[in-house]
Structure 1
Amino acid sequence: MAVNPSADQLVGILRDTVVALVRRDGPDLSARQLGVFLTCYLQDGAHTVRGLAAELNVSKPAITRALDRLGELDLARRKVDPMDRRSVLVQRTLKGTAFLRDLRGIMSEAASGTKKSGSHESARKVANG
């Protein structure tokens, strides 16, 4: 039977994950950027600026700024919806998929409490391209 972690353990996992993300080489994401990224990669379906703004309860310009940064890092890209040219779709990228895989690994290490030297090397590679 699986044991659910306590709130304190979850906060510790979050802390260890965030610390690992900011310590690795390359840029780190703000909480908003990470929220947009995770929403796009963990929830199926088409994502639009309008839909992300509603889902995260933030303004469309805030989503646009987050997507600008994710686009600079090649973690997501925007494309005009061919069915409705007024709408902008958010697309996943190979680099974004790799970042998510690395993030899962970092979180797994944080959850298990293991600290392996060099274990975040692939996250550094993804961040630096």
Structure 2
Amino acid sequence: MIAAMSDDALTQVLHKTILALVRRDDVDLTSRQLGVFLTVYLTAGPPTVRGLAAGLNVSKPAITRALDRLGELSLVRRKVDPMDRRSVLVQQTQAGDAFLADLRHVMAAADTEHRSAAA
């Protein structure tokens, strides 16, 4: 279980995960883009751009740039909030669901590899 892992083990799993992602000829996200992506997918309901900026403590233009890239990759989509047309909702997509599932597999493989090496 990851919660019971030492700081060094967590760092090793993160390192192995990042290396696996870098070595792939696939989507390559910056840490900010990945942070925005994960926040959209791990919070209940579609967040707003304003809410993402506040929650991540970064500027709205920085969120917008990250969302531009995520949108280009079809990992998220933006939609005007029908309840408040001044707000923009950030929604999940099928491509984003698939990317998250794949990311989870990469992380699990990194964890397994680390545990095997440590045994």
- Would the TM-score normalized by the shorter structure come out above 0.5? yes
Deviations 1:20-76, CA, capped at 9 Å, x for gaps: 111111230000000000000011122011000011000000000000000000000
Deviations 1:70-125, CA, capped at 9 Å, x for gaps: 000000010010111100000100000000000000000101117xxxxxxxxxxx
Cα distance in 1 for residues equivalent to 2:103 and 2:56: 21
Q: Secondary structure at the match of 1:47?
A: coil
1:16 aligns with 2:25: no
- Equivalent residue number for residue 29 of structure 1: 29
**Paired residues of 2:2 and 2:10 also in contact (CA < 8 A):** no
- Equivalent residue number for residue 47 of structure 2: 47
Structure with higher helix content = 2
**Paired residues of 2:50 and 2:60 also in contact (CA < 8 A):** yes
Q: Which of structure 1's runs of 4+ aligned residues deviate more than 2 A?
A: none
Match runs of 1:1-129 below 5 Å: 4-113=4-113
Q: Secondary structure at the match of 1:63?
A: helix
Cα distance in 2 for residues equivalent to 1:2 and 1:48: 30
TM-score normalised by the chain length of structure 1: 0.84
**Paired residues of 2:36 and 2:63 also in contact (CA < 8 A):** yes
**Paired residues of 2:81 and 2:89 also in contact (CA < 8 A):** yes
**What amino acid maps onto 2:43 in structure 1?**
Q
Identical-pair percentage? 67
Unaligned residue ranges in structure 1 (runs of 5+): 115-129
Cα distance in 2 for residues equivalent to 1:33 and 1:74: 13
Q: Secondary structure at the match of 1:21?
A: helix
**Paired residues of 2:76 and 2:90 also in contact (CA < 8 A):** yes
Q: Secondary structure at the match of 2:27?
A: coil
